[in-house]
């Protein structure tokens, strides 16, 4: 592709991403993947360069720009790389290569910027690392280190490995055979906070596609009862083939949002651990999905927080006396994390608190993981113990 074609491709993609953000459509990475799947002529350097241009533009605008062209006109005023390639009236000659440093911290809508520590605004520009979780149902970390000798073991995790972000893991034999899963270290720490063990009854109440469910299965060593629940049929349907690939024994339960209590009645006071990886704003993943902030509004935050409170009320009765409730959100907004747990403890004063893990920083009664401090996605995690 010529330099002009790369810039034009980025403009078209930004147009599509703006429309998707407005209509609650596909995420940027999905749109980009689909776009290139229909354009096989684009080489790997072209794909990387266009992707870099797209994300450079996304990070520069706290609010969605009017169009892709408007985005690049505006960005060229502040970004030397883009100014050389696109001067507002035409295309310049330089070839734009991926990996150029971004000019400024990620731009935020004003209301959202006030919710997130300013130190994270710079960290959210960094490329997220590539973390793997070793599936202990099938292999060991030592065996995977032999396959990837350049991998870095993640000290706080028994089965965590960190690789170069450019590693083609999803085409590797261990990945295809279910020996490893791609999973951020923060997500793995959420599961570590559950302290799941063989023989336990464990409920993953907001299982989604099942990433944390499979990590729980690995920790349980194939022994015990693991129930994965969700109200989203499409997301939950992806768990079944993933579990088969991983060799995990999981009971999948689709919940009717209007009859959740009935569907969970047999689990009341039965679970040793209930994991509530609650729906949230996803601000902890803005390194990976920076356009997500274009979808957020104060009204949506309020709706999400109301749902989180409901899920806490739904999950708590499932925990047996002395069992654990682990509450987690992939968010950098305190109200979704520490604020929710504080409200729950005010309403349920007999529950006691345990530290979920030692890494990260204290926030309320839980721990906060952030890109700037921990090089993970942003997570709040709390571990609560039911009264005996």
Catalytic residue positions? Answer: 330
Q: Tell the burial category of 88 from Cβ atoms under 10 Å away from its Cβ (0-12, 13-18, 19+).
A: exposed
DSSP string covering 215-235, please?
HHHHHHTT-SEEEEEES-HHH
CB 209 within 8 A of CB 227: no
**Dihedral sign of CA atoms 289, 290, 291, 294 in order:** positive
What would the DSSP string read from start to end of 324-356?
Answer: EEEEEES-S-GGGTHHHHHHHHHH-TT-EEE-S
* Alpha carbon distance 9, 16 (integer Å): 11
Question: What's the distance, Cα to Cα, between the start and end of the chain in Å?
Answer: 66
- State both tokens at 33: 């993947």
Distance CA 128, CA 120 (A): 13
Q: Write out the two tokens for 386.
A: 């039911």
Whether 4 and 11 have beta carbons less than 8 Å apart is answered as no
């Amino acid at each position: 592709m010529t330099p002009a074609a790369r810039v034009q491709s980025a403009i078209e993609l930004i147009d599509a991403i703006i429309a998707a953000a407005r209509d609650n459509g596909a995420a940027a990475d999905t749109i980009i993947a689909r776009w290139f799947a229909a354009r096989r002529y684009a080489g790997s350097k072209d794909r990387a360069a266009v992707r870099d241009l797209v994300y450079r533009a996304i990070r520069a605008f706290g609010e969605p720009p009017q169009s892709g062209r408007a985005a690049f006109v505006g960005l060229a005023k502040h970004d030397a790389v883009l100014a050389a390639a696109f001067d507002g009236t035409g295309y310049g000659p330089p070839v734009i290569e991926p990996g150029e440093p971004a000019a400024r911290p990620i731009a935020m809508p004003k209301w959202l910027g006030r919710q997130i520590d300013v130190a994270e605004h710079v960290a959210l520009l960094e490329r997220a690392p590539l973390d793997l979780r070793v599936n202990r149902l099938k292999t060991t970390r030592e065996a995977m280190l032999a396959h990837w000798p350049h991998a870095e073991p993640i000290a706080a995790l028994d089965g965590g490995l960190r690789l170069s972000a450019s590693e083609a893991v999803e085409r590797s034999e261990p990945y295809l055979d279910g020996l490893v899963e791609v999973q951020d270290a923060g997500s793995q720490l959420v599961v570590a906070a559950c302290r799941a063990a063989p023989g336990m009854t464990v409920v993953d109440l907001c299982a989604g596609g099942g990433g944390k469910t499979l990590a729980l299965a690995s920790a349980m060593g194939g022994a015990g009862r693991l129930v994965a629940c969700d109200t989203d049929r499409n997301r939950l349907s992806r768990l079944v083939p993933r579990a088969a690939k991983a060799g995990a024994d999981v009971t999948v339960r689709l919940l009717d949002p209007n009859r959740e209590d009935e569907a969970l009645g047999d689990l009341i006071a039965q679970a040793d651990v209930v994991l509530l990886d609650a729906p949230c704003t996803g601000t902890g993943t803005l390194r990976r999905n920076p356009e997500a902030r274009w979808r957020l509004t104060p009204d949506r935050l309020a709706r999400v927080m109301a749902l989180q409170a409901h899920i806490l009320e739904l999950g708590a009765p499932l925990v047996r006396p002395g069992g654990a409730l682990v509450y987690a959100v992939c968010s950098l907004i305190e109200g979704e994390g520490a604020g929710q747990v504080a409200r729950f403890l005010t309403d349920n004063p007999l529950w006691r608190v345990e530290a979920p893990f030692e890494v990260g920083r204290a926030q309320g009664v839980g721990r906060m993981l952030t890109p700037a401090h921990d090089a993970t996605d942003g997570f709040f995690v709390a571990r609560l113990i039911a009264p005996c």
